Amino acid sequence: MAHRPHPAAMRDVLDLVAKHDDWRLHRTINLIPSENVTSPEVRAILASDLGHRYTLPWGKEWHGYLVENSYRGTRYLDEIEALGERLARDVFRARHATLKPMSGHLAGMLVLSALCSRGDRILVLDSRVGGYDGYMPDYLPRMLGLEVEFLPFD
């Protein structure tokens, strides 16, 4: 069972975070785009449950059940994402925009989508020997129309 951190240690962490935020926001020039300054509204959104949640709309049957989204806990997220993408397209006068957070899963999906065509074969490790569940035949490969062959492993 996990133990709660000592209150004094927690205060020290929060104090250091506040100092870090003050330093980064008011005393430095951020030149790395991924470390750009965000508005208080954006910071509040990222601090909410949305900051560590992602979504994968599917709308297909899986083992006899309709799965609207591959991830649970996304009741409003798809709607928020669609609205945010529309706003981003308007603001940047772009034809396309995505707000999907990067993750290993999404990175894998992007690579497979970019480098493979429907009907292509990919080589993966079986999840029973440590391979990634997302590359199993009934998940990303099925969604992208790819064939799977398992690499030998012992």
Q: Which residue type, as a one-letter code, is found at position 19?
A: K
Q: By C-alpha distance, which of 149, 143, 153, 152 is closest to 122?
A: 149
**Cβ contacts of 39-47, under 8 Å, gap ≥ 24:** none
Instruction: Look at residue 116 and tell me whether its pLDDT is greater than 80.
Output: yes
Q: Which residue type, as a one-letter code, is found at position 112?
A: L
pLDDT of residue 1: 62
Q: Which residue has the tokens 């490790």?
A: 125
* Residues 18, 24, 30: CA angle, nearest 5 degrees: 160
pLDDT of residue 58: 78
pLDDT of residue 33: 63
Model confidence, pTM: 0.51
Across the range 113-134, mean pLDDT stands at 93
The residues that bridge with 69 in the sheet, in sequence order, are 57
The residues that bridge with 121 in the sheet, in sequence order, are 147
d(CA 6, CA 14): 12
Q: Which of 18-32, 107-121, 123-137 has the lowest mean pLDDT?
A: 18-32
pLDDT of residue 64: 84
pLDDT of residue 149: 98
pLDDT of residue 78: 85
The b-or-e profile of 70-87 (16+ CB within 10 A means b, else e) is: beeebeebeeebeeebee
Across the range 83-87, mean pLDDT stands at 95
pLDDT of residue 19: 97
